[in-house]
Amino acid sequence: MRRVVTAPVGRSSAWLTVVLGLLVALGLTVLAPSPDRGTGVSAGLPSSAESVRVAELERQLPGADATSALVVVRRDGGLQAADTAALQQLSGQLAAIAEGGRVAPPVTSPDGTTALVAVPLSSAGGTEALAETVGAIRADVRSTTADLPSGLTAEVTGGAAFSTDIAAQFEGANLTLLLTTVLVVAALLLVTYRSPVLWLVPLAVVGASAAAATALFAVVSRTFDVVLDPSTGGIADVLVFGAGTNYALLLIARYREELRREADRRLAMRRAWRGAAPAIAASAGTVVLSLLALSFAVLGSNRSVGQFGALGIAVAALFALLVLPAALVLCGRGVFWPFVPRVGSAETSLSGPWSRIGRAVVQRPWRVVAVAVAVLAVMAAGISGARLGLSQTEQFRVEAEAVTGVETLAKAFPAGAADPARIVVRSTDQTVVAAVVDTATATEGVASATAGRQGAGLTEVTAVLDADPGSPAAQATVERLRTALDAVPGTDGEVLVGGSTASDLDVRTATERDLRVVAPLVLLIVLLVLVVLLRAVVGPLVLVATVVASFFAALGAGNWLATDVLGYPGLDTGVPLLAFLFLVALGVDYNIFLVTRVREEVPARGTHEAVVVGVSVTGAVITSAGVLLAAVFTVLGVLPLITLTELGIIVGIGVLLDTLLVRTLLVPALFTLLDRWAWWPGALSRPSRHRDDGAHGDGSSAGAPAPELSAR
């Protein structure tokens, strides 16, 4: 261990470490293949999901690659003769693009305001070819309707248009996310250090770690055939920057502290490393193990977030523990200019505002606990009445033609006409098929059902739903359909319901299952890490309870902000699980940073005075780290999906709660009340190993202000 500590900061090894770190980042970036990023957001349902089974069976039917684009034309006062003539002309033009060279005549709504043209297409050429075809259709629609009287709206929607618009929304979004993240981190580092030089060092090291991690993402994606969709890539990038910068802040704060005691900067860094490395390693290990808990998820998208996120955190921690110390030592004390720490200079953190906050908490712990719990409870109340689930048209944060097209269509046709449910019957018997059609039509929420393609002993039935595709109402209809169709005579239960709404329902079911399985596993992992780190049981249980309370408070406040302030229709089904994972794993980081320092001080000072010192010396750095991490997660809002914006909001709120309320007030107050029992059953819980604080019955401490810390 000692060789690992000393090697990166020696005269030669420091240069070697920095050069190797940069070469590794550069080499991986240059040599790594481009990742298989996909074009949109893929849930990765298991093969047992009913919608996936339907998709597999449909490949056996004629036209297995069939999809469609829907041209929706509307005039509020009713379509005019010129509009109808233009639509007839448009149908002829689109026949040249359509699969099979034929387009059915336009279908006009009963009120005469809206017409619908379905253009059959093939997805066999891949997403890029399909996007080009949708673009050509939109160009034909615009040119044909350009000369018509004003007041006519013409839009292209349907499954092909949705996939095209999702890909278009994400084009360049990850670069925007990366640049915005870098700017936010740079600005906050400048504010934190108030130095024109120092901020460049951690930013460069974290940037190098992010480059290395991104390259490794590509290697893993290609090697193991794992799709790295844009949303997963964005979350992983944010994790690397946020966590890497947090680790850098903690190490630099400890290094600055040691430079005030030691003239030799290399020796100061070794001491700082010994003090900070256990907390950083424990923090990174907790996050990595928590993310890997997603390996037990059934949703492929959740597993991908866990795998890529864990890899990114590991890389960020390695760069922070190896490359950053070497880079700081090479830069010398001058890197802190104009606030260069001098040997013997006062340690302001022990007499500044954080010291006063720590002492106030120790003197009135019951009052602090009561207020903190009340605040968390009020915020958590925002969960009440929360709506989970977003329809297809509610997924986008920015306007997309496929979305507005569905909204236009829903004014005159059933909302589900743009994307009907697809029912596969394992029979071609007309009596059985007719019974399936009749049962589907009679199901509440179904506007119509029609038998379609047959082949390989299968029949496909399309069911148009009344509700918007993917909405909670549409998913409820699919549930009723599945129940009703299972009872159709002669099918032996061999009737499956698929389509995008059924897929959304299966994703919701899988997400609920993942939350039930992964959440307890994450809590167990965090608890075990804390038990090993603190060599206690009571303290870790308290810390886990506080981060869980913080999660519920953040979820409630985030739901209120997203729905009542920003006007979003609800929370996406995947948000609670990812928010829980990030807030528990990342939120406990700040408790680790604080409590490891408190534990370090307990033998000499007792728990009460150790709490004051812990809050004093970690307050500024943890607050800076928390504000930075919250800001970085909020940057997810630059991506086009509401899901990611909501995730950024909730995690941002939760991190701020952990930083400003839980770590600053609640945890110190609870540890003050528990006193030596916080360390039970470890050695520090024994009176012989625990200095008497002179605590009064009201929880106050008679101790004098904390003296200067001795070098260690």
Is 142 contained in some domain? Answer: yes
Write down which residue in 301, 317, 341 finishes a domain.
341
| 175-229 per-position pLDDT tens digit | 888 888 889 888 888 888 888 888 899 999 999 998 899 888 888 888 777 777 7
* Winning range, highest mean pLDDT, from 43-47, 505-509, 698-702: 505-509
pLDDT at 65 over 80: no
- Structural tokens at position 287: 């996050």
The whole-number pLDDT of residue 100 equals 79
Q: Is residue 411 part of a domain?
A: no
582 within domain boundaries: yes
What count of Cα atoms within 13 Å lies in the side-chain half-sphere of residue 101?
A: 0
Residue pLDDT, tens place only, 462-512:
999 998 888 889 999 999 999 999 888 877 768 999 988 999 999 999 999
Q: Are residues 371 and 320 in the same domain?
A: no
Average pLDDT, the chain: 85
Query: How many of the other CB atoms lie within 10 Å of CB of 152?
Result: 17
Assess if residue 507 is contained within a domain.
no
What is the radius of gyration, based on Cα positions, of the chain? 30
| Residue ending a domain, choose from 322, 341, 360 | 341
- The pair of structure tokens assigned to 468 is 């918007």
CA dist., res. 219 & res. 215, Å (int): 6
Q: How far is CA 496 from CA 45, 419, 457, 499, in A?
A: 16, 17, 14, 10
Same domain, yes or no, for 630 and 595?
yes
Choice between 361 and 683, residue whose per-residue pLDDT is larger: 361
Residue 94 included in any domain = yes
Q: Is position 42 within any domain?
A: no
Q: CA dihedral in degrees (423, 426, 429, 431; nearest 10)?
A: -50
442: in domain: yes
Residue 435: domain span:
420-498
- Verify that 247 and 333 share a domain, yes or no: yes
Q: What is the pLDDT of residue 461?
A: 93
The DSSP annotation for 81-107 comes to HHHHHHHHHHHHHHHTTSGGG--PPPE
Residue-level pLDDT at 38? 53
* 406 found inside a domain: no
More confident residue, 571 or 127: 571
**Residues whose CB is less than 8 angstroms from the CB of residue 400 and which lie 6 or more positions away in sequence, other chains included:** 165, 166, 168, 169
* Range in 107-111, 186-190, 226-230, 567-571 with the lowest mean pLDDT: 226-230
Residues near 510 by beta carbon (within 8 Å), at least 6 away in sequence = 43, 45, 46, 49, 297, 298, 299
Q: Is the pLDDT of residue 697 over 60?
A: no
557 and 617, same domain (yes or no): yes
Residue 690: per-residue pLDDT: 55
Cα distance between residue 449 and residue 557, in whole Å: 42
Read off the pLDDT of residues 619-671 as tens digits, 9 standing for 90 and up.
Answer: 888 888 889 889 988 888 887 788 889 999 999 999 999 999 998 999 999 99
Structure tokens at 433: 């098929």
CATH number at residue 452: 3.30.70
**pLDDT digit string (tens) for 349-385?**
566 788 899 899 999 999 999 999 999 999 999 998 8
End-to-end CA distance of the chain: 17
Q: Return the H-helix or E-strand segment holding 73.
A: strand 66-75
Task: For residue 453, report the phi and psi dihedrals to the nearest 5 degrees.
Answer: -65, 150
Q: What is the CATH number of the domain that holds 284?
A: 1.20.1640.10
| 355 in the same domain as 321 | no
Residues 675 and 582 in one domain: yes
Q: What is the SS3 assignment for 463?
A: strand
Residues 180 and 160 in one domain: no
Q: Which pLDDT score, from 0 to 100, does residue 693 have?
A: 52
Contact between 76 and 333 (Cβ < 8 Å): no
Reply yes or no on whether the pLDDT at 704 is more than 60.
Answer: no
- At residue 379, the pLDDT reads 95
| End-of-domain residue from the set 436, 470, 498 | 498
Evaluate the omega torsion of the peptide bond into residue 640 and state whether it is cis, within 30 degrees of 0. no
Looking at the structure, do residues 645 and 703 belong to the same domain, yes or no? yes
Pairwise pLDDT comparison (687 vs 602), residue with the higher score: 602
- Contacts of residue 111, Cβ cutoff 8 Å, sequence gap at least 6: 78, 412
Closest CA to 136 of 158, 156, 166: 156
Same structural domain for residues 527 and 612? yes
Neighbours of 551 (CB within 10 A): 26
Residues 6+ apart with CB under 8 A from 79: 73, 108, 112, 113, 114, 115
Retrieve residue 617's tokens. 């010396």
Same domain, 482 and 532: no
- Alpha carbons 227 and 217: distance in angstroms, whole number: 10
The kind and range of the H/E element at 319 are none
What the block records as the tokens of 498 is: 């698929």
What is the structure's pLDDT at 73?
Answer: 92
Q: What is the CATH number of the domain that holds 116?
A: 3.30.70.1150
The two three-digit tokens of residue 192, written as one number: 């934190």
Strands annotated E in 491-629: 495-498
pLDDT at 587: 80
The angle, 0 to 180 degrees and rounded to 10, between the axes of the packed helices 365-380 and 538-560 is: 40
- Taking CA 419 as the corner, what is the angle to CA 418 and CA 424, rounded to the nearest 5 degrees? 145
Whether 621 and 544 share a structural domain:
yes
The alpha carbon of residue 37 and the mean position of all alpha carbons in its chain are separated, in whole angstroms, by: 17
Residue 689 has what pLDDT?
Answer: 56
219 and 356, same structural domain? no
pLDDT band at 392 (very low <50, low <70, confident <90, very high): confident
**pLDDT band at residue 346 using 50, 70 and 90 as cut-offs:** low
**Does the pLDDT at position 71 exceed 80?**
yes
Tell me the C-alpha distance between 269 and 511, whole Å. 45
Number of structural domains in the chain: 4
